[in-house]
Chains A and B, each alone.
Chain A
C-alpha cells in the first residue's frame, strides 16, 4: 500500500532559526495536504498542493510539491515559539484514502 515518510522525526531549533520538514511518498500523489498539531491539540489543516512543482507561501511558511508529485516540503523561516507543534503531511493518491506521514515534531528554544 501507499507509504508516506516524513523526516526528521524531531527537530530542536533556536528561535529565529529556519526549519524544514520533508515528506516522501512511495507512489505518485494527486495532491498533498499539510496539517499542524499543537501540543495537546488536534490537527489543523494548513494547505493543499495539487500541481507538479507548486509552491505556496503563508507568511513565514513555504510549501513545495515536487515535480514528480512524490515529495513535498514545508519550510519555516525565522521560527517563533508559536511554531511549536507537530507538522504532518498527508498524501492523496486518488485512491480515496489520505495517508498521513509520521509527523515532524518541532521544538523551539526561546
Chain B
C-alpha cells in the first residue's frame, strides 16, 4: 500500500459525458501527478500540482483539467469524453516539487467510455 488513494476504482460512462477522478496523496506529500496509461501502453504524464499550484504540464488535452485543493487532495476532470479516453488513470505523489524524487502511485482509476 503506497498511501496514495484514488476514487473511484472503476468508472463506466458514455461518450460526451464528464467525470471527476479524485486522488489523496500520501500524508506529508505536497506534489500530485496525474498519468494516463492506455492498454499495454506506457505512462503518459498529464499534469503536476505542487502545494496547490500547477507545476508542470505534459500531454494533457484541453478537455481535461485538474486542480489541487488546500487539503492537498487533487481532482482530474475529464469532459466531452471520447472512446479513446478509455484508460487507466494514475495519481502519484512525492514529497517535493521537483520530479527528482521518487513518486508513490495510487491504485488507479479504470475509465471505460462506451
* Additional 16 contacts, C-beta under 8 A, given A44-B105, A100-B43: A33-B103, A35-B105, A43-B43, A44-B2, A48-B100, A88-B42, A88-B43, A92-B100, A96-B55, A96-B56, A96-B97, A96-B98, A98-B45, A99-B45, A100-B35, A103-B42
Provide the residues of chain A in CB contact with B53, threshold 8 Å: none
Min CB distance B109 to A, Å, is 11
Provide the residues of chain A in CB contact with B42, threshold 8 Å: 88, 100-103
The interface of chain B, by Cβ under 8 A from chain A, is 2, 35, 40-45, 48, 55-56, 58, 90, 92, 97-100, 102-108
Provide the residues of chain A in CB contact with B98, threshold 8 Å: 96
CB of B2 within 8 A of CB of A42, answer yes
Interface residues on A, range: 20 to 34
Give the interface SS of chain A, mostly helix, strand, loop or mixed.
strand
- Assembled-state Cα–Cα distance A94/B99 (Å): 8
- Assembled-state Cα–Cα distance A11/B45 (Å): 25
Tally of A-B Cβ pairs under 8 angstroms: 56
Contact A98:B103 (CB < 8 A) given known A42-B90, A43-B90: yes
| Contact flags A80-104 to B (C-beta < 8 A → 1, else 0) | 0000000010101010111111110
| The one of B40, B99, B105 that contacts A96, using a Cβ cutoff of 8 Å | B99
- Assembled-state Cα–Cα distance A45/B2 (Å): 10
Provide the residues of chain A in CB contact with B108, threshold 8 Å: 42
